Amino acid sequence: MGLPVEAVLPGGLRPVDAGQVGACVVMSAVHEDGTAIPVEVSLSALETTTSGRLTMAAVRDISDRKHIEHLLQHNVSELERASRVKNNLLASMSHELRTPLNAILGFTGTLLMKLPGPLNAEQEHQLHLVKASGVHLLSIINDLLDLAQIESGKVQIVLVPVDCRAVVDAVVQSLEPLAETHHVTLHVEGPEVPVSATADKRALSQIVVNLVNNAIKFAEGSQVRIRLTLQESGDRIQISVHDTGPGIPETDLDRIFCAFERSAATAKATDEGTGLGLHISQKLAELMNSTVTVASVVGEGSTFAISLATC
Amino acid sequence: MNARILVIEDTPNNMYLMTYLLQAHSHTVTPAASGEEALALARASRPDLVVMDLQLPGIDGYQTLAAMRAEPGLREVPVVAVTSFALVGDRDRILNAGFDHYVAKPIDPATFTDEIDAYLPQLLRSSVPN
């Protein structure tokens, strides 16, 4: 230290000319132990009354910074690689899990269609059990892959104006057949005019499907009300799904949003569920800056709701 | 009237299933275990429709489709992808690649043949089995 800049610049480098005053240059310099180190040279101009213009040079050893930059760069590319591997893993998992199910469900189906020949009543009953279990396994696989896609950030959420009434009507239409098999009637209440909310259409549909699906299973033999409520101020709309099922004890209300957790009081009604529907719905709601809320009275029923900003 | 359907599938169980269903609906099935084999068979005798898995040994389903679309004799043959790739976005990717239709595995045996039939000329559609 205390030497002119040129003294620490390695041979072959020209001293910085006046045109680069104010610039900041990274170059290689010779350390006092003789090794080459990266340095940052910054220049600033000083006007003096006696000697005219002076240039001040600051030479900073940036070995540590360079080392950290290198480490960061390495970590980023490692992360990118891991994320690619994870995405490929998801695609492979989906493929590998579905391929054997194709034969299981496929041949159960051909047997039940009696294509190879007649079945006795017991065989038919047992094959229906194989089919129902296969379909259940498929929905668990689908939900797990959905969840894995959400958690790996692979689900693209596009927040645009979505007509809530149209989403609800489409969901209700698609679930009518399920409701019929459970002897449940579906009622939609609320403004029949379009009400736009800021949402991702696919995610919102999936949430409403999950909520109505659950409600149908709990409401066996009665009705499910899906209500659209515009807040008085008009800046939020709530979509709520009310069933007249057994209700959920207060101690279980938090747990039901966790993966594979079910309320003991309602476990029987959710035998055919995957235990992932509410968990996925909550994750999707969070991606849309919202939450799924629940209110329930044991013996009277439950209401699940999602509230969205109107636009 | 029945159709001649070329089925490309490398998993024997799944080949058996699709062949069984299509034959039960009185179609004639030519099996191929790879894209290369399928192209050779299709050139020798033009099928009325191709049912294709996407993950295949050798060239994959996308490449097999591209090869068919590049050949004047095979360009017009309808091609249906039947695949276990069924994550969000896969359907669009497959249809954008030029497949006429997409069926996700596991297939529903009750509706599979009807779905395939929709891509056959009216005259070649299957007779429903009794």
ipTM of the complex: 0.88
Q: What would be the CATH architecture of the domain defined by A160-309?
A: 2-Layer Sandwich (3.30)
- Domain ranges across chain A: 5-61, 68-151, 160-309
Residue A27 corresponds to which tokens in the numbers above? 């170059």
Residues of B in contact with A106 (CB under 8 A): 14, 17, 21, 106-107, 109
Work out how many CB contacts closer than 8 A connect A with B. 69
pLDDT of A113 = 96
Q: Kindly identify which residue of chain A lies nearest to residue B84, measuring between CA atoms.
A: A95
Q: Which runs of E-coded beta strand occur in chain A? A: 24-30, 36-47, 53-61, 160-163, 185-189, 196-199, 223-230, 236-243, 292-297, 301-309
Number of domains in chain B: 1
**Among the listed residues A31, A145, A48, A133, the one whose alpha carbon sits nearest the alpha carbon of residue A96:** A145
- Kindly state whether B21 is in contact with chain A, defined as any CB-CB distance less than 8 angstroms: yes
A116–chain B nearest CA distance, Å: 9
CATH of the domain at B87: 3.40.50.2300
Go through chain B and tell me how many residues it has: 130
Residue B109 corresponds to which tokens in the numbers above? 């045996």
Q: Is the pLDDT of residue A45 over 80?
A: no
For residue B129, being part of any structural domain is answered with no
Question: pLDDT tens-digit profile of B17-59?
Answer: 999 999 999 999 999 999 999 999 999 999 999 999 999 999 9
- Nearest-CB residue to A99 (from B21, B88, B105): B105
Q: Which CATH superfamily is domain A5-61 in?
A: PAS domain (3.30.450.20)
Cα(A181)–Cα(A209) distance, integer angstroms: 16
Look up the domain containing B115 and give its range: 4-124
B69–chain A nearest CA distance, Å: 26
Q: Is A158 exposed, middle or buried (0-12, 13-18, 19+ CB in 10 A)?
A: exposed
Question: pLDDT tens-digit profile of A153-164?
Answer: 878 889 999 999
**Three-state secondary structure call for residue A257:** helix
Question: pLDDT tens-digit profile of A173-218?
Answer: 999 999 999 999 999 998 877 889 999 998 999 999 999 999 998 8
Cα(A237)–Cα(A210) distance, integer angstroms: 19
Which residue type sits at A219?
A
Residues of B in contact with A115 (CB under 8 A): 20-21, 24, 129
Q: Is the pLDDT of residue A10 over 60?
A: no
Angle at B118 between CA B114 and CA B120, to 5 degrees: 115
Question: Is B17 within 8 Å of A155 when comparing Cβ atoms?
Answer: no
Question: Is B110 within 8 Å of A103 when comparing Cβ atoms?
Answer: no
More confident residue, A16 or A310: A310
For residue B130, being part of any structural domain is answered with no
User: What does the longest C-alpha to C-alpha distance in chain A come to?
Assistant: 113
Question: pLDDT tens-digit profile of A130-170?
Answer: 999 999 899 888 888 888 888 878 788 899 999 999 999 99
Residue range A35-40: mean pLDDT, rounded: 86
